Amino acid sequence: MNRIQEIHSRLGASIATTEPMLRFDRPFELLIAVILSAQTTDELVNRVTIELFDAYPTPRALAGARIGDVERIVYSTGFYRTKAKTIIAAAAVVVERYGGRIPRTIAELLEIPGVGRKSANVIVGTLFGEPAIIVDTHFARVTRRLGLATTGSPARIEAELRRLVPESIRYSFSMLINRHGRLICRARVPRCEECVIADLCVGAGIVS
C-alpha cells in the first residue's frame, strides 16, 4: 500500500463518518448551505437553514424572496447582506438557466453566484459521486503538514492532490482529511500524540 492509500485506510478506520456536516435534504439545499458556509461554521449554517428552507422550499421560492426577509434569517452567519443577495441570485440562476436543477459539472457550477471551486467540488462529490478534491482551510493545512501539498494556493493544492490521489478515493480522502483537521490536526495546536498517521507525517511534532 502506498502512502496515500495508507493515510486513507488509517483515517477511514479511525473516523466514524465522512458525511458532510452541512445538513440538507435536497440538492438545492446543499448548494445554498455551501454558499452560506463561507466565513462561518457549519453548525451556524445548519441552524439558519431550518428556517430558510421552511420559508423557501424551492429554488423558485427563494429566487422570488424579499431580500430583507432573507437577510433577517441568515443574519447570524455573518456578511448577511451579501449572503442574502447571493443566495437569491444563485436560486435565480438555477431556475432560469437549469430549470430548477443543480448542474452536474464544475464549470457550470462556477457560473452560479457564490460558488467557487471548493463549493463546486463539494457539490459534485456529494451529489453526483464525482472524484472531487475539496480544498477548504482544513484540507489545505493538513495536506501541507503531511508534506503532500507544497503551496498555499487552493487551486494549486487541488491540482497537486489530483495528481497524487487515485480517482476512486478522492472524495472520501477529501472528507477524511477534513475531519482529521477538525478533530486532531487542529490549526493552532495539532494533537500529534493522538494522530494515527503521525509516522507518515513530515510535520509530526514540529508544527505549531
- Closest-CA residue to 160 (of 178, 146, 181): 146
Q: Is 198 in the site for ligand SF4 (CB under 6 A)?
A: yes
- With b meaning 16 or more CB within 10 Å and e meaning fewer, what string describes 84-94? bebbbbbbbbb
Which CB, 4 or 198, lies closer to ligand SF4? Answer: 198
What backbone phi and psi angles, to 5 degrees, belong to 48?
A: -80, -25
How far apart are CB 62 and ligand SF4 at their closest, in Å?
39
Over the Cα atoms of the chain, what is R_g? 18
Contact 31, 90 (CB under 8 A): yes
How far apart are CB 189 and ligand SF4 at their closest, in Å?
10
- With b meaning 16 or more CB within 10 Å and e meaning fewer, what string describes 127-145? eeebbbbbbbebbbbbbbb
List 146, 148, 157, 176, residue binding ligand SF4 (CB under 6 A):
146
Q: Is 106 in the site for ligand SF4 (CB under 6 A)?
A: no
Catalytic residue among 54, 83, 136, 199: 136
> Candidates 40-48, 52-60, 85-93, 194-202 — which segment interacts with ligand SF4 by CB under 6 A?
194-202
How far apart are CB 96 and ligand SF4 at their closest, in Å?
44
The answer to whether 118 is a known catalytic residue is: yes
Catalytic residue among 42, 54, 69, 118: 118
List 136, 143, 203, 208, residue binding ligand SF4 (CB under 6 A):
203
Which CB, 83 or 138, lies closer to ligand SF4? Answer: 138
Residues 6+ apart with CB under 8 A from 143: 149, 157, 160, 161, 177
Which CB, 61 or 202, lies closer to ligand SF4? Answer: 202
**Binding positions for ligand SF4, rule: CB under 6 A:** 142, 145-146, 184-185, 190-192, 195, 197-198, 201, 203-204, 207
By annotation, the residues acting in catalysis are 118, 136
